[in-house]
């Protein structure tokens, strides 16, 4: 279905509605967002979190931190469909000065640096003067599932909901860079958004990609998400979408693109978001002297969405067990399910394919044959042959967890 998307009209409408409806007028401060409904308890120590509905353009979300906001998607949302609604899509910001209003009429995206001609685009230019593209892609925080690391590690204590899948619509980064003309000798392209730190010495949040990656035609500057302008907290009016790569590169409120003729040495590339250069970024706790590299491609993952640990099932009755899976930086090849703790595996049915970077639903029919508890396991494989480890991968910053997920079921 083709939608007539006028982000200027829509954004004004949605954005103003989002703000006024929630009485969201001041800075992103704690007082604006205090209301609490209920809470959720995750299966790790100190796992209780409040559910809040008070953030602009957001429905019920798991509150991890108020300022700068970290909001997690309640896991049942992933059972409702493979696309994560914008008002339930998780939120993560590093720096606390986030504009609360962005005027779509005066906003500009600038491209500068090692280019033939610096260029500046209005939102209207992006929508009307470039061919739109759409990609369904999973946006997953590098630290998704960090709270399950054993031993525990510092950082945002996410359960499994620091991820979401959307149809992103925008313009290919290549088309924009071609207008500016990337000069010979360019190495990287650096992306910066409108957010800043409170203290002047806080390093501005910026991320870079290699020039070749930036010109691959898939990396895009998105102005819409699931057919609507981006929610403010997900980067209104523009964000970078880097299909298959961890969300740290998906710079929000993107207004500045700088082509560099040397490697980016900014804090967020050289000090933060580094992983051990090992399979699954896995090390032994305490291990020293491991080479590190910037985090990059996502690994395959799969989850149960309609059954929780310790669920009770009637002996002899068939239940459809389902979930979601994704291939990481390439398509999902298959999902294997075990209903007996990993002795035997069967291939799960897969739902509609929305493209290689999207979530895909899987399902199997499972019957608890006897009055014994069982452990159910699920494991995804991507088309490059990568899969999920049976023993959890671990590293100090708590990145890239993708262990085989399991739930125990009990006879009812
Ligand atoms: N401008 C800006 N963009 C950003 C960040 C940020 O702090 N500032 N955080 C990044 C990280 S680490 C993540 S996980 C994703 C989160 O995207 P979301 O809030 O839309 O879910 O945004 C990325 N883009
Ligand atoms: Mo992140």
Q: Report pLDDT for 27.
A: 32
Q: How far apart are the first and last CA of the chain?
A: 45
For the chain, list the domains and their CATH numbers. Answer: 1-272 (3.90.420.10), 301-411 (2.60.40.650)
Beta pairing partners, 72: 62
365 beta partners: 320
More confident residue, 153 or 37: 153
* Pocket flag, ligand 1, residue 399 (CB < 6 Å): no
Torsion sign (Cα): 203, 204, 210, 213: positive
Task: Give, using CA atoms, the residue closest to atom 14 of ligand 1.
Answer: 141
| 173 vs 222: CA distance, rounded Å | 9
Confidence of residue 20 (pLDDT cuts 50, 70, 90): very low
Q: Give tens-digit pLDDT for 395-408.
A: 999 999 999 999 99
In this structure, are strands 188-193 and 254-260 parallel, antiparallel, or unpaired?
Answer: antiparallel
| CA of residue 205 to ligand 1 center, whole Å | 9
* Secondary structure (DSSP) of 287-334: -----EEE--BPPPEEEESS--TTEEE-TT-EEEEEEEEE-SSS-EEE
Of the listed ligands, the closest to the CA of 252 is: 1
Q: Does residue 22 have a pLDDT over 80?
A: no
Up-side HSE of residue 230: CA atoms within 13 Å toward CB? 27
Ligand 1 atom having least distance to the Cα of 230: 20
Whether ligand 1 lies within 6 angstroms of the CB of 88 is answered as no
Average pLDDT, the chain: 92
Q: For residue 92, what are the β-bridge partners?
A: 70
Question: What does the radius of gyration of the chain's CA atoms come to, in whole angstroms?
Answer: 22
pLDDT bracket for residue 5 (50, 70, 90) = very low
Q: What share of the chain is helix, strand, coil (3-state, %, to 5)?
A: 15, 35, 50
What the block records as the tokens of 379 is 């494991």
Say whether pLDDT at 33 is over 70: no
**Does residue 247 have its Cβ closer than 6 Å to ligand 1?**
yes
**What's the half-sphere exposure (Cβ side, CA atoms, 13 Å) at 96?**
11
The values of phi and psi at residue 216, to 5°, are -80, -5
Write the DSSP assignment of 210-233 as a string of letters: EHHHHTSS--EEEEEETTEEPPGG
pLDDT, residue 37, reads 62
The pLDDT > 90 percentage for the chain reads 91
User: Does the CB atom of residue 144 touch ligand 1 within 6 A?
Assistant: no
Pairing of strands 48-52, 61-65: antiparallel
Residue 279: per-residue pLDDT: 97
In this structure, the number of other CB atoms found within 10 A of the CB of residue 352 comes to 8
Q: Rounded to an integer, what distance in angstroms lies between the CA atom of residue 163 and that of residue 160?
A: 7
Rounded CA-CA distance 33/43 in Å is 26
Contact by Cβ (8 Å): 98, 195: yes
**Ligand 1 test: best mutation among 65, 238, 248, most atoms within 8 Å of CB?**
248
Give the distance (Å) from ligand 2 centre to CA of residue 4: 32
Lowest mean pLDDT among 11-20, 184-193, 389-398: 11-20
Tell me, in angstroms, the distance from the centre of ligand 2 to residue 92's CA.
Answer: 6
Q: Which residues contact 10 (CB under 8 A, 6 or more apart)?
A: 228, 229
- Taking the C-alpha atoms of residue 86 and residue 56, their distance in angstroms, rounded to an integer, is 11
Return the structure tokens found at 336.
């294997």
Q: Kindly state if the Cβ of 250 falls inside 6 Å of ligand 1.
A: yes
Does the pLDDT at position 12 exceed 90? no
Q: With 60 as the cut, is the pLDDT of residue 1 above it?
A: no
How far apart are alpha carbons 34 and 54 in whole angstroms? 7
Q: Which residues does residue 200 pair with via DSSP β-bridges, in sequence order?
A: none
Are the beta carbons of 271 and 265 closer than 8 angstroms?
Answer: no
- Contact between 295 and 142 (Cβ < 8 Å): yes
**pTM value surpassing 0.75:** yes
User: How far is it, in rounded angstroms, from Cα 7 to Cα 9?
Assistant: 6
Query: Which ligand 1 atom lies nearest to the CA of residue 235?
Result: 20
Confidence of residue 7 (pLDDT cuts 50, 70, 90): very low
- 8 A C-beta contact, residue 329 and residue 297: yes
Residue bearing the CA closest to ligand 1, atom 23:
248
- Taking each continuous run of H as one helix and of E as one strand, the counts in the chain are 5, 26
Q: What's the pLDDT tens digit per position in 331-384?
A: 999 999 999 999 999 999 999 999 999 999 999 999 999 999 999 999 999 999
For the stretch 61-81, pLDDT in tens is: 999 999 999 999 999 999 999
Flag whether pLDDT at 161 surpasses 80.
yes
Q: Which residues surround ligand 2, an ion (CB under 5 A)?
A: 92, 141-142, 248
Q: What percentage of the chain exceeds 70 in pLDDT? A: 91
Residue 21 clears pLDDT 50, i.e. is over it = no
In the prediction, which pLDDT does 383 show? Answer: 98
CA–CA gap between residue 243 and residue 241 (Å, rounded): 6
DSSP string, 237-280: T-EEE-TTB-GGGS-BSEEEEEEESS----HHHHTSSEEESSGG
What is the rounded CA–CA span in Å between residue 198 and residue 97?
6
Mean pLDDT of 215-229: 98
Helices (H), 61-172: 123-129
């Amino acid at each position: 279905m083709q939608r007539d998307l006028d982000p200027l009209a829509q954004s004004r409408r949605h954005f103003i509605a989002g703000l006024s409806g929630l009485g969201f007028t001041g800075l992103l401060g704690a007082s604006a967002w205090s209301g609490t409904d209920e809470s959720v308890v995750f299966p790790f120590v100190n796992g209780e979190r409040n559910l809040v509905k008070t953030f602009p353009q957001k429905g019920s979300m798991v509150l991890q931190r108020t300022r700068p906001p970290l909001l997690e998607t309640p896991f049942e949302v992933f059972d409702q469909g493979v696309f994560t609604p914008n008002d339930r899509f998780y939120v993560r910001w590093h720096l606390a000065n986030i504009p609360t209003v962005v005027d779509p009429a005066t906003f500009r995206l600038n491209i500068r640096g090692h280019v033939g001609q610096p260029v500046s685009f209005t939102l209207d230019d992006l929508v009307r003067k470039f061919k739109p593209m759409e990609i369904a892609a999973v946006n997953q925080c590098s630290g998704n599932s960090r709270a399950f690391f054993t031993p525990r590690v510092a950082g945002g204590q996410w359960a499994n909901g620091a991820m979401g899948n959307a149809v992103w619509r925008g313009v290919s980064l290549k088309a924009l860079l071609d207008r500016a003309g990337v000069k010979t000798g360019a190495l990287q392209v650096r992306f910066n958004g409108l957010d800043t730190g409170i203290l002047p010495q806080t390093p501005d949040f910026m991320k870079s990609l290699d020039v070749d990656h930036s010109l691959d035609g898939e990396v895009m500057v998105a102005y819409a998400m699931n057919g609507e302008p981006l929610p403010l907290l997900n980067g209104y009016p523009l964000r970078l979408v880097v299909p298959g790569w961890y969300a740290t590169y998906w710079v929000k409120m993107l207004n500045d693109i700088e082509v560099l003729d040397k490697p980016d040495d900014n804090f967020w590339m050289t000090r933060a978001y580094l992983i051990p250069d090992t399979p699954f970024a896995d090390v032994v706790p305490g291990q020293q002297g491991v080479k590190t590299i910037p985090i990059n491609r996502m690994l395959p993952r799969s989850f149960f969405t309609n059954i929780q640990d310790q669920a009770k099932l009637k002996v002899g009755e068939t239940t459809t067990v389902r979930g979601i899976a994704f291939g990481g930086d390439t398509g999902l090849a298959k999902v294997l399910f075990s209903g007996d703790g990993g002795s035997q595996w069967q291939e799960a049915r897969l739902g509609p394919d929305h493209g290689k970077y999207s979530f895909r639903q899987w399902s199997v029919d499972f019957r608890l044959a006897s009055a014994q508890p069982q452990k159910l396991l699920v494991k995804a494989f991507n088309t490059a042959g990568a899969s999920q480890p049976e023993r959890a991968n671990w590293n100090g910053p708590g990145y890239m967890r993708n262990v085989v997920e399991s739930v125990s079921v009990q006879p009812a």
